[in-house]
Chains A and B, each alone.
Chain A
Amino acid sequence: MAVKTLVLGVGNPILSDDGVGIHVARALKGRRLPGVEIEELPASGLELLDCVLGYDVVIIIDSIKTEGGRPGDFYELEEKDFERTVHGASPHGINIATALALGRRIAPDRMPRKVIFVAVEAADLVNVSERLTPQVEARLPEIADFVENTIKEIVSADQKDP
């Protein structure tokens, strides 16, 4: 059976680089990847959990800010990379990692077997704008290529070892 794959662009499309996940998702929609569903999620936490249930593989694209990071750089991360940030003592909402951990606890059968994060280093997460900053926008095609290749690798590995 084909791998049920979801690409999920997360972010706020009117908050500069916060919306980079949405911009990448839109770029990928234009590429018409067979068998891949592409969704935009302008929310986080528990809403994200609702979205990923029932898929085999989910690729989440979102913005990130790390100390000393260069805007436009992107990193491939896995769920275990977020273990440190799994917590619930936040004043409002729970983060993506906590939501996924909750899903694995409550509905393990319906959770994707693999979740890959593509985290894009943001320059501006404060100013309201529909546009990405130039540094991030310049890397957009490269990020979309990376996601597309990642999907191809997963599908081909699956065909070899179904």
Chain B
Amino acid sequence: MTGPMINDTPTKTKEKRITIDPITRLEGHGKIEIFLNDAGDVENAYLQIPELRGFERFCIGRHVMELPVLTNRLCGVCPAAHHMASTKTLDAVFDAEPTPTAKKLRELFYMGQYTHSHIAHFYALAAPDFVLGPAAPAMKRNVLGVVDAVGVPIGAEVIKHRSYGQKVQEIVGGRATHPVFGLPGGVSKQISEEERAQMEAMAKSCVEFGKFTIKLFHDLVLGNKDYMDIILNKDAYYLETYYMGMVDKNNKSNFYDGDIRVVDQTGKEVIKFRPDEYLDVIAEHVEPWTYMKMPYLKKVGWKGFVDGASSGIYRVGPLGRINVCTGYTTPLAQKEYEVFKKTMKDLGVTGPAHHTMAYHWARVIELQYAAERMLELASDRSITSDDIRGPFKQPKEGVGIVEAPRGTLIHHYASDKDGLCTKINMIVATTNNYAAINTSVKQAAKALIKGGQVSPGLLNKVEMAFRCYDPCNSCGTHSLTGGPALEIVVRRKDGSVLTTQRNF
């Protein structure tokens, strides 16, 4: 194979507005619009994300016990995260403390979700840019191209371990894609010793695959100067924002349970809050050109799409989590975390990593952690106990938070005395990141598009800024034309379309 295609030749465009439009469907897809000025430089860029309409109305008046299976329909990609957040919200609504066994089973299930989600993102979505190169033609720059380059046996390992993640979810959660097992104070299904042993064997294999993935990331990305130049490009992929993520009582990263920690641009803790305090910390900004709200830190305030200490924009997801924590509770993930910190230190970074592309590295470290934690839990023979449900009380109002693979996910319900839902509010991971994604897209577009010179490779490098965040831009829909993707539209100052690029 020839080396990855890092650059292609830009041609001068006469247009002043560029749109990157996802090809999911003919309508309702996400879209990046880039506006050029008279000199052909980027004046502004926006990311528009479609929202499902009427979900709140759909839920009001239903029994809150239905919400874990309704909210998980919001997404065909991360239903398990919604199911977990919803189940934890019911714990709060019914003032129910889950039993020790139930907590372990929920977390085990959730590590299966992380394993499958992070494998899919790294190999199917991120790897094409790093194996084939950002400027490789779109028809080649995909998961099939990756398999061609790395070989079918590795491709088969990818599929196998992703399926293991699914299988663990299926064993614990009852169903792989849309789980049904979460109840206030517990879970509905006990597992057998045979199932436990089966999960232990799969988890062992996933730990090895995590090691393999970290090595591959080092070989492919960290060992390649061209990619390091892209990753360290401060003009295109670098934002000094606040970060948010869940930690345990020792400030180690945790995906299932804990408090939410926010750090500033230097890594100093700004606040650590319980789920039910989220409204004291987060406010939402509204822009006229999109339905989706943009959360920001209330105390800092909204300053527009800019980074820095005076802008309340924060980032969530793998980069957010790695920046708010002091490490991981499992040995291999902790070891790689130390490599990550040392590499950053050698680059002169002492606080958080502000390099947007570091999302990818954080994600593979998290894959290792999820696999190790899955093995710890699946090796624990006490998880087959029948102690899977605890008592619960009269319903009221409650908040539940988990770390979805793509970031902090907040559910908040209120119930009347009969258990009927009277209020529902959700802030999903991509919403938490929405302001940051917009800022990143604008930054990358400004740095990469100059003097009206555009090319497919350059536009893909703009998309790469967006792809780091693993955004879920159309929760819940997946019609045949689908396979979410993006279209970039470049527009002149008068708004007319100069050029359009779709990755389909």
Q: Does A65 contact B (CB under 8 A)?
A: yes
Distance in Å from the Cβ of B503 to the closest Cβ of chain A? 4
Give A139-157 interface residues, CB cut-off 8 Å to B: none
Distance in Å from the Cβ of B485 to the closest Cβ of chain A? 4
Query: A126: which of B53, B57, B463 is its contact (CB, 8 Å)?
Result: B53
Q: A12-B476, A64-B481 are in contact. Are A127 and B54 (CB under 8 A)?
A: yes
Q: Once the chains bind, are B166 and A50 in contact (CB under 8 Å)?
A: yes
Distance in Å from the Cβ of B141 to the closest Cβ of chain A? 5
Chain B 1-25 against A: per-residue CB contact (8 Å), 1 yes, 0 no?
Answer: 0000000000000000000001111
Docked CA distance A88–B486 (Å): 11
Report 7 cross-chain contacts, Cβ distance below 8 Å, ordered by A residue. Answer: A42-B76, A47-B176, A88-B141, A89-B460, A91-B466, A92-B472, A92-B484
Q: Does B390 contact A (CB under 8 A)?
A: no
Where the two chains meet, the residues of A that have a C-beta atom closer than 8 Å to any C-beta of B are: 10-15, 18, 41-47, 49-50, 62-67, 77, 84-98, 101-102, 105-107, 117, 119, 122, 125-129
Q: A46-B124, A66-B481, A126-B53 are in contact. Are A90 and B503 (CB under 8 A)?
A: yes
Q: Once the chains bind, are B30 and A46 in contact (CB under 8 Å)?
A: no
Where the two chains meet, the residues of B that have a C-beta atom closer than 8 Å to any C-beta of A are: 22-28, 30, 50, 52-55, 57-58, 70, 73, 76-77, 79, 120, 124-125, 128, 138-139, 141-148, 152, 155-156, 159, 162-163, 166, 176-178, 460, 463, 466-467, 470-473, 476-486, 503-504
Distance in Å from the Cβ of A74 to the closest Cβ of chain B? 11
Q: Once the chains bind, are B152 and A11 in contact (CB under 8 Å)?
A: no
Q: Which residues of B contact A117 (CB under 8 A)?
A: 480
Question: Shortest 8 CB-CB distances between A and B: which pairs?
Answer: A95-B483, A88-B142, A90-B485, A44-B478, A89-B503, A63-B479, A43-B76, A62-B480
Q: Once the chains bind, are A92 and B478 in contact (CB under 8 Å)?
A: no
Q: Once the chains bind, are A85 and B466 in contact (CB under 8 Å)?
A: no
Q: Once the chains bind, are B22 and A91 in contact (CB under 8 Å)?
A: yes
Distance in Å from the Cβ of B257 to the closest Cβ of chain A? 26
Most buried by A among B25, B128, B166: B25
Docked CA distance A127–B15 (Å): 35
Docked CA distance A136–B322 (Å): 47
Q: Which residues of B contact A12 (CB under 8 A)?
A: 73, 76, 476-478
